C-alpha cells in the first residue's frame, strides 16, 4: 500500500486515526481485512456482519462487478483489534429526538435528477448562488445542471453536457479570488464569460479528487496526475489547451485549511491513505466551522440493523441477517475526539455533502445529497449550523 506521504491526506489520516484510537507506526496504515471462510467460521457470523456486502470479493453476475470487500463499523473494529470482538460495543441506533450538537434539521426536498454531486456557487457573478448538480446521462456522459429556487421548488435554469462520468465536480475560485468561479469536471474546466460558458479540456491522466480552501481564502484543486502523488493545483486560464493546471504543491496540513474535501472510490481513498471506516462512504472532509472555531471531520456513515434467526444449515446455531441499512452524515470533533453530531437516518446512500444552503445562500450548514428509490430523483437535505451557546 502507498505510504500516506501527501500533506492534507496525511493530516486527515493522523486526525482520523486519533479519532478512532488506533495505535500505528508512523506513515503506516492497517492492512484491509478480507472476507475469509476461516473468520466467518471462527466467529459463527455471516460476511455481512463485518462487511458492506453479503458476498465480499465475489463476482455479482447481475452487475458483472466484484462486490466490495469494504468493512462496516464492526469489521473495522475486528480488523484493528487483532481480529477479535473483545471489548466491542455496538453503536446505538440514532434517535433524532435526542440529537445535540452544532446543527439542526432545516428542510428536505426531492430533485428531479439522479445526481451524484452537488455544489452551491455564484458561477455567473450576479450575486445569485445556484444549486449545481452532476448526474449520469449515459456511458461516460453526464449532465451539469444549474438550479434556482422559486420559493416552492428548484427550477432547472440550464444544463450542459459533460463528456465524463458524474463522479468529479469541484467549483471555486481556483484561478484566484479576482477571477471567475470555475466549474471543474472530469472533462475539463468551465467558466461564465458573460455570455456563455467557456471551456478548456482536462489534461490526460488528471484525476480530480477534491478541493481545499486555505485560511487566507486561497482555493486549490486536489488531484493526481498519471497516478502520482496527490497535489494541490491552482488554475491558470491564460494557458492554451489542457495546460491550465499550474503551480503544483504538496497539499496543506488539515490545520491549515478552512475546509477541504476528497471524493473517490473507497479503494482509491484507501490506496492514498484513508482507513476503511473513513473511506467507506467515498467522501471525507474537514471543516473549520465558522461559528465554532474548531476543526471537524465529516463523512457519510452506514448504519446496519441485523437480526438473529435460526440457521437451517447448522442446527442449534443462529445466523445474522440484514434487516435494513441507512446512511447518515457524521461530524467528529477534532479537538476532543468526540462525536459532535449525526444526522437522522437519510433516504438512500449519501453521495455528496456541501457546506451551504441554496435557499439561504448566506447560511452555512450541511447540504446532503442522497439517492432515492424513485428513478431520476435525488434527496436533498439541509442541516443549518446553529450559533454556539452563550
Instruction: Determine the pLDDT at residue 266.
Output: 76
Instruction: Determine the pLDDT at residue 187.
Output: 97
Q: List phi, psi (to 5°) of 300.
A: -70, 150
Instruction: Determine the pLDDT at residue 72.
Output: 67
Instruction: Determine the pLDDT at residue 89.
Output: 67
Contact between 125 and 98 under an 8 Å Cβ cutoff? The reply is: no
List the one residue out of 232, 251, 109 whose CA is nearest residue 172: 232
Instruction: Determine the pLDDT at residue 32.
Output: 35
Which residue bears the cell 439522479? Answer: 114
Q: Which residues of the chain have pLDDT under 50?
A: 1-5, 9-10, 13-35, 92-99
In whole angstroms, give the CA distance from residue 279 to residue 286: 14
Instruction: Determine the pLDDT at residue 105.
Output: 84
Contact between 347 and 370 under an 8 Å Cβ cutoff? The reply is: yes
In whole angstroms, give the CA distance from residue 387 to residue 364: 11
Can you say how many angstroms the Cα of residue 12 is from the centroid of all Cα atoms in its chain? 13
List the one residue out of 157, 158, 155, 149 whose CA is nearest residue 359: 149
Distances (CA, A) of 84 to 14, 49, 74, 81, 90: 24, 13, 10, 6, 14
In whole angstroms, give the CA distance from residue 245 to residue 188: 10
Instruction: Determine the pLDDT at residue 223.
Output: 93
**CB neighbours of residue 213 within 10 Å:** 19
Encode pLDDT of 329-385 as tens digits. 988 877 665 677 888 888 789 999 999 999 998 899 999 999 988 899 999 999 998
Instruction: Determine the pLDDT at residue 125.
Output: 92
Amino acid at each position: 500500500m502507498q505510504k500516506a506521504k501527501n500533506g492534507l491526506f496525511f493530516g486527515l489520516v493522523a486526525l482520523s486515526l486519533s479519532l478512532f484510537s488506533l495505535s500505528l507506526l508512523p506513515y503506516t496504515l492497517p492492512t484491509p481485512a478480507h472476507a475469509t471462510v476461516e473468520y466467518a467460521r471462527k466467529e459463527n457470523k455471516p460476511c455481512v456482519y463485518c462487511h458492506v456486502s453479503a458476498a465480499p470479493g465475489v463476482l455479482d453476475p447481475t452487475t458483472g462487478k466484484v462486490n466490495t470487500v469494504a468493512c462496516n463499523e464492526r469489521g473495522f473494529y475486528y480488523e484493528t483489534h487483532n481480529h477479535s470482538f473483545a471489548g466491542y460495543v455496538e453503536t446505538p441506533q440514532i434517535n433524532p429526538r435526542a440529537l445535540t450538537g452544532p446543527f439542526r434539521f432545516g428542510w428536505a426536498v426531492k430533485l428531479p435528477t439522479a445526481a451524484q454531486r452537488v455544489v452551491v456557487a455564484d458561477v455567473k457573478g450576479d450575486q445569485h448562488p445556484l444549486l449545481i448538480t452532476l448526474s449520469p446521462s449515459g456511458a461516460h456522459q453526464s449532465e451539469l445542471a444549474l438550479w434556482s429556487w422559486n420559493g416552492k421548488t428548484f427550477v432547472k435554469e440550464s444544463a450542459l453536457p459533460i463528456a465524463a462520468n458524474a463522479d468529479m465536480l469541484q467549483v471555486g475560485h481556483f484561478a484566484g479570488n479576482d477571477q471567475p468561479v470555475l466549474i471543474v469536471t472530469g472533462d475539463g474546466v468551465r467558466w461564465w464569460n458573460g455570455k456563455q460558458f467557456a471551456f478548456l479540456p482536462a489534461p490526460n491522466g488528471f484525476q480530480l479528487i477534491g478541493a481545499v480552501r486555505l485560511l487566507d481564502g486561497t482555493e486549490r484543486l486536489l488531484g493526481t496526475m498519471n497516478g502520482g502523488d496527490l497535489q494541490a493545483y491552482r488554475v491558470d486560464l491564460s494557458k492554451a489547451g489542457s495546460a491550465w493546471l499550474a503551480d503544483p504543491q504538496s497539499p496543506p496540513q488539515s490545520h491549515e485549511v478552512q475546509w477541504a474535501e476528497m471524493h473517490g472510490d473507497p479503494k482509491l481513498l484507501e490506496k492514498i491513505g484513508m482507513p476503511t471506516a473513513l473511506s467507506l462512504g467515498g467522501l471525507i472532509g474537514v471543516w473549520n466551522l465558522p461559528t465554532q472555531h474548531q476543526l471537524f471531520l465529516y463523512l457519510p456513515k452506514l448504519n446496519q440493523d441485523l437480526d438473529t434467526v435460526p440457521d437451517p444449515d447448522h442446527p442449534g446455531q443462529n445466523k445474522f441477517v440484514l434487516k435494513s441499512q441507512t446512511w447518515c452524515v457524521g461530524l467528529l470533533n477534532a479537538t476532543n475526539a468526540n462525536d459532535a453530531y449525526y444526522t437522522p437516518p437519510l433516504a438512500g446512500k449519501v453521495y455528496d455533502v456541501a457546506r451551504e444552503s441554496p435557499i439561504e445562500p448566506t447560511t452555512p450548514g450541511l447540504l446532503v445529497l442522497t439517492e432515492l428509490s424513485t428513478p431520476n430523483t435525488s434527496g436533498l437535505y439541509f442541516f443549518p449550523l446553529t450559533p454556539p451557546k452563550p
